[in-house]
Amino acid sequence: MKGVVFTEYLEFVEKSFGYDMVDQLITSCDLKSGGIYTAVGSYEFTELVQLLTKTCELSHKQPEYLLRKFGWHLFGFFTECYPQFFTTAQSSFDILSTLDDKIHPEVLKLYPDAELPKFEIERKEEDMLVMVYRSSRKMSDFAEGLIEACLNHFKEKGTIETEQLDAHGEVVRFTVTKTP
């Protein structure tokens, strides 16, 4: 997994719970990297799982909640660091419907060895988008947070219905419906 996810996760924890918790995470987890991350490095996904698990333990928050909030945080990072993806978009659906076609190929140019989730997108109606998420990392709650933050970025209101399509959480359908 790309280091930017780790550096931003630790930034998210620091903003949410303080530097002392970041220090506790790094010292109490058995991290192969020693908790030293660079944005361009690559690290084992199991380290993020350890960090998340320990954050849940220390904060008394559920992993689903933390992953969604981290999705919000990372979306903010994306808008600041990669504004070119957002300047021409008119709505959240402009961004969400182009994840695999436009955004992920650009991410792969920056990080060629990144393992990105796959999205199948279907526009059902003007105000409804169906996104089928596929990832062996089972981080659909994180993806949901990104979707929520995207709606918020464009000052749109809506609902997100989730449906797990397999027994393992690797395939999840998001039905995003804009509301007035």
Q: Which CATH number characterizes residue 98's domain? A: 3.90.1520.10
DSSP 130: E
The residue range of the domain holding 48 is 3-61
Strand-pair partners of 163:
173
Residue 84 has pLDDT above 90, yes or no: no
DSSP-derived pairing of the beta strands 157-164 and 128-134: unpaired
73 domain-assigned = no
Rounded distance, CA 63 to CA 9, Å?
Answer: 13
> DSSP string covering 165-176, please?
-SSSSSEEEEEE
Q: Taking a C-beta distance cutoff of 8 angstroms, is the pair 40, 5 a contact?
A: no
Q: What is the pLDDT of residues 2-46, one digit of tens each?
A: 999 999 999 999 999 999 999 999 999 999 999 999 998 999 999
Let me know whether 174 and 94 are in one domain.
yes
Overall number of domains in the chain: 2
Report the share of the chain in percent with pLDDT over 70: 100
Domain end, chosen from 41, 61, 81, is at 61
Confidence of residue 176 (pLDDT cuts 50, 70, 90): very high
DSSP 60: T
Q: List the structure tokens of 134.
A: 């596929």
Confidence of residue 175 (pLDDT cuts 50, 70, 90): very high
Let me know whether 97 and 166 are in one domain.
yes
Rounded distance, CA 35 to CA 6, Å?
Answer: 9
Rounded distance, CA 60 to CA 152, Å?
Answer: 26
Residue 142 has pLDDT above 90, yes or no: yes
Let me know whether 97 and 168 are in one domain.
yes
Confidence of residue 165 (pLDDT cuts 50, 70, 90): very high
Let me know whether 33 and 103 are in one domain.
no
Let me know whether 100 and 56 are in one domain.
no
Residue 161 has pLDDT above 90, yes or no: yes
CA distances in angstroms from 125 to 12, 122, 133, 175, listed in the order given: 35, 9, 19, 11
Mean pLDDT in the chain? 95
What's the maximum distance between 2 C-alpha atoms anywhere in the chain? 50
Confidence of residue 164 (pLDDT cuts 50, 70, 90): very high
> Would you state the pLDDT for residue 113?
84
Q: What is the pLDDT of residues 37-77, one digit of tens each?
A: 999 899 999 999 999 999 999 999 999 999 999 999 999 99
Let me know whether 38 and 106 are in one domain.
no
What pTM, to 2 d.p., does this model score?
0.94
